Amino acid sequence: MKKLEDSLTLQLLRARESAMTFFRPVLQQAEFTEQQWRVLRVLNDHEELEAKQLADLCCILSPSLTRIINRFVEEGMVIRKRSSEDQRITLLSLTDEAKLLVKDFRPNVDAAYKQLIDKLGEKKLKELSHLLKDVIELSPDSK
């Protein structure tokens, strides 16, 4: 049996935590949680998404996403509407105000990302990204 510290899943969790130390201060400054920022970023990159698509792209469970979306709707940052093709489907998009907020805040996140790259190195980051994609493709749920 492998030692606990050699566990791939534990190493991945520790790596995530280490990487997030670059981003958390920036997100806290803007009073966003990691999940909230992911929702804003993904919706900003897509014109409109179904709630399930958004949950999948953000790696957020539906109950957590529902809380975030409800808050963002109340704050006037997300528009929720029914699909004209299928009334059972809820479509989500950012308001113009939220798009401007993401545009204004994005350079801070990009600067944090640059710090991470500067510490790790661009070559290692690319290698890591390729390896992680390989691991993700091992999943029985991946396509």
Q: Which domains does the chain have, with CATH numbers?
A: 21-137 (1.10.10.10)
Q: What residues contact residue 113 under an 8 Å CB cut-off, 6+ apart?
A: 22, 23
Tokens 């049996």, residue? 1
What is d(CA 58, CA 91) in angstroms, rounded to the nearest whole number? 15
Q: What are the strands of the beta sheet with 90-94, ordered from one edge? A: 49-50, 90-94, 78-82
Within the chain, which residues score under 50 in pLDDT?
none
Under 8 Å between Cβ of 65 and 54: yes
What pLDDT score does 87 carry? 86
What pLDDT score does 73 carry? 97
